[in-house]
Amino acid sequence: MDRVTVEQHVAASAQPLLAEVFAAIGTAAREIGRKIRLAGLSDVLGAAGATNVQGEQQQKLDVFANDVMMAELGKLGSVAALVSEEDDDAVLTSHPAGEWIVIFDPLDGSSNIDVNVNVGTIFSIQRVAPGGDVHAAMLQPGTAQIAAGYVVYGPSCMMVISLGAGVDAFTLDDSGDFLLGTAAMHMPTQGPYYSTNEANASTWPAAYREYLQWLLDGKLNGKTYSSRYIGSLVADFHRTLLKGGVFLYPPTDKAPAGKLRLLYEANPLGMLAEQAGGAAVFGAGRILEIEPSKIHQRTPLIVGSKAEVDALQKMVAEAN
Ligand code: AHM
Ligand code: MG
């Protein structure tokens, strides 16, 4: 395969002006990945002592990852604003005429950092129309995303992206470049895994419990299922993208509006799923059509292969 870096790929696409944004995300990801790789040798594991706007304890690596993303993206003249899971408010850069807003979860899956399990960085890119309001542009629905992607810090470090025309995966090689490894990824249309925190099942709405039982009873085209749950969204999504099946984070008693965040978790992964032939819903409707009202809004998220997600959507709609 030809050697194509993520910057070259973006520069040659319909969104060439995003190349510098991807270069900056790549630089940040290399730094974050290195810190994670060497975490056991430095004093970066554990809690930072603060809680973020979500009321969650910030890990030292959350803070590090956020600082690196902010520094790399904040330099760019094309970026007008940055929205991060770790910051209460959006950060306006010193480039108000910039075209892009980058919305991100700098290090998702923090609870897995200390135990050397995959974590990730998730990002979504929205556009500010010339002369448009930056704050309104942050709250556009997922259908307006110009690009989205994630970096998974695992046995290999990969960046998976969509520029609105398919999904492509890049692997960090020893020279420090993210090189195209798989172009035009396609999510299998069904199975074989379901992925959810079943400890919450007793507090899900009944339709979700019934759906899971229905699935396990082989009612969806006679297929059987295995369970896989890592508890790191990027890792659970990455497996679902490659192998097929469904990831569910339904409403629970503890998180009645869902636990995951719309702007920097559900929307980017929803775009990737749809662009790979899968689907993403909040229950009875499509994730990407939600009109956000605030930057840290939560949502239930059911994402994965088309067969499973369509069936869930139908069952939840009928129960409503
Ligand atoms: P975080 O952004 O604070 O890391 O939380 C999000 C994580 C996701 O990675 C994962 O899908 C989910 O929380 C797991 O939640 P739970 O432990 O409730 O199953
Ligand atoms: Mg997160």
Is the Cβ atom of 188 under 6 angstroms away from ligand 1?
no
Contacts of 245 (CB under 8 A, 6+ apart): 188, 190, 191, 192, 193, 194, 195, 225, 228, 239, 304, 305, 308
Contacts of 304 (CB under 8 A, 6+ apart): 187, 195, 240, 244, 245, 246, 247, 273, 278, 279
Residue nearest to atom 2 of ligand 1 (CA): 108
CA neighbor of 235 nearest in space, from 122, 96, 128, 144: 122
pLDDT tens by residue, 200-236: 999 999 999 999 999 999 999 999 999 999 999 999 9
pLDDT of residue 39: 84
pLDDT above 90 (res 53): no
Is the Cβ atom of 58 under 6 angstroms away from ligand 1?
no
Q: How far is the CA of 212 from the centre of ligand 1 (A)?
A: 20
Fold classification of 193-319 (topology level): D-Maltodextrin-Binding Protein; domain 2 (3.40.190)
Mutate to test the pocket of ligand 1, among 107, 232, 239, 240 (most ligand atoms within 8 A of CB): 232
Share in percent of the chain as helix, strand, coil (round to 5): 35, 25, 40
pLDDT of residue 50: 65
Q: Which residue in the block uniquely carries the two structure tokens 């075209």?
A: 99
Is the Cβ atom of 56 under 6 angstroms away from ligand 1?
yes
Q: What mean pLDDT do residues 83-109 have?
A: 96
Is the Cβ atom of 51 under 6 angstroms away from ligand 1?
no
Which tokens belong to 74? 């904040």
Confidence of residue 52 (pLDDT cuts 50, 70, 90): low
pLDDT of residue 1: 66
Mutate to test the pocket of ligand 1, among 119, 194, 198, 233 (most ligand atoms within 8 A of CB): 233
CA neighbor of 264 nearest in space, from 65, 38, 113: 65
pLDDT above 90 (res 198): yes
pLDDT above 70 (res 56): no
pLDDT of residue 129: 94
Average pLDDT in the chain:
95
Q: Do the beta carbons of residue 266 and residue 287 sit within 8 Å?
A: yes
pLDDT of residue 139: 98
Q: In this structure, which amino acid lies at residue 68?
A: V
pLDDT above 90 (res 51): no
Find how far residue 203's CA is from the centre of its chain: 25
Q: How far is the CA of 232 from the centre of ligand 1 (A)?
A: 6
Which tokens belong to 261? 């965040």
Give pTM, 2 decimals: 0.96
Residue ranges, comma separated, of all CATH 3.30.540.10 domains in the chain are 6-182
Fold classification of 6-182 (topology level): Fructose-1,6-Bisphosphatase; Chain A, domain 1 (3.30.540)
pLDDT above 90 (res 97): yes
Q: Of all atoms in ligand 1, which is nearest to the CA of residue 247?
A: 11
pLDDT above 90 (res 43): no
Q: How far is the CA of 107 from the centre of ligand 2 (A)?
A: 7
Residue ranges, comma separated, of all CATH 3.40.190.80 domains in the chain are 193-319
* 185/167 Cα distance (integer angstroms): 5
Q: What mean pLDDT do residues 283-298 have?
A: 98
